[in-house]
A = this chain, B = another copy of it.
Amino acid sequence: MPRAGLSPDAVVDAAIAVVDAGGPGALTLAAVAGRAGVATPSLYKHVRNLAELRQLVTARILEELADRLGNAAMGRSRDDAVAALMRAYRGYVVEHPSRYASMEQSAERQHVGDAAAERLLGVIYAVLRGYGLDGPELVHAARCLRSAVHGFAILEASGGFGLPEDLEASYERLITVLTSGFSQARV
């Protein structure tokens, strides 16, 4: 019996494939093992348990997201940067709705996905500093941006909006509301 050559990363790859194929609810160790061509208990050699796997999946997704946001915001500033960041965010969600929705299941987050989350937050802070925001104002603005963007994303990814009709336009509206809100804060 030759080795399967698994690794924590490979397990996360398989887990993401499972989520993509069957939605957030399909993420079970049994399914991941099946896709990886291995018996379920073998996964425990690479991952502590299901909870940790979920966190690793969340971390991976946050990394993918942070990469996109960073690239999108690069070379832009203020409204232009916020709009690009927001469109990139939703772009990811539209491309991978199951992945995005699966992050909700990660229950109480530990310190696993912290690095990725920090990086994503860093991009947001960087963009908002372009408005001259600083200190508590920066924190408030970042929370507003995260709330709006994540709220729209999770509602869209989990079918929370009635019809998918005009979602594009609604999102552009949200971008406008936020950018004008940030602009007014501190000219």
| Chain A interface residues toward B at CB < 8 A | 24-25, 104-105, 107-109, 136, 139-141, 143-144, 146-152, 154-155, 158-161, 166-167, 169-170, 173-174, 176-178, 180-182, 184
Q: Is the pair B25, A107 in contact by a Cβ cutoff of 8 Å?
A: yes
- CB-contact partner of A148 in B109, B151, B182, under 8 A: B151
Residues of B within 8 A of A180 (CB): 180-181, 184
A180 to B107 CA separation, bound complex (whole angstroms): 35
Question: Across the interface, which residues of B come within 8 angstroms of A146, CB to CB?
Answer: 151, 155, 160
Interface centre among A24, A148, A178 (most CB of B within 10 A): A148
Q: In the bound complex, do residue B136 and residue A144 qualify as a contact, i.e. CB atoms below 8 Å apart?
A: no
Q: CB distance A159 to B104 under 8 Å? A: no
Whether the pair A177, B174 counts as a contact (CB closer than 8 A) is no
Shortest Cβ gap from A84 to chain B (Å): 19
> Pick the contact of A143 from B107, B139, B174 — CB < 8 Å?
B174
Residues of B within 8 A of A154 (CB): 104, 150-151, 154
A24 to B143, CA, bound (A): 24
- Determine which of B108, B150, B167, B177 lies in contact with A178 in the assembled complex, contact meaning CB atoms within 8 Å: B177
A151 B147 Cβ-Cβ under 8 A? yes
User: Cβ of A174: which chain B residues have Cβ within 8 Å of it?
Assistant: 143-144, 147-148
- With beta carbons under 8 angstroms apart, the residue of B108, B143, B158, B166 that contacts A152 is B143
How distant is A134 from chain B, measured CB to nearest CB, in Å?
14
Report how far A182 CA is from B180 CA in the complex, Å: 11
Minimum Cβ distance to chain B for residue A170 (Å): 4
Answer whether A136 and B169 are a contact pair too, CB < 8 Å, given A152-B143, A154-B150, A174-B144. Answer: yes
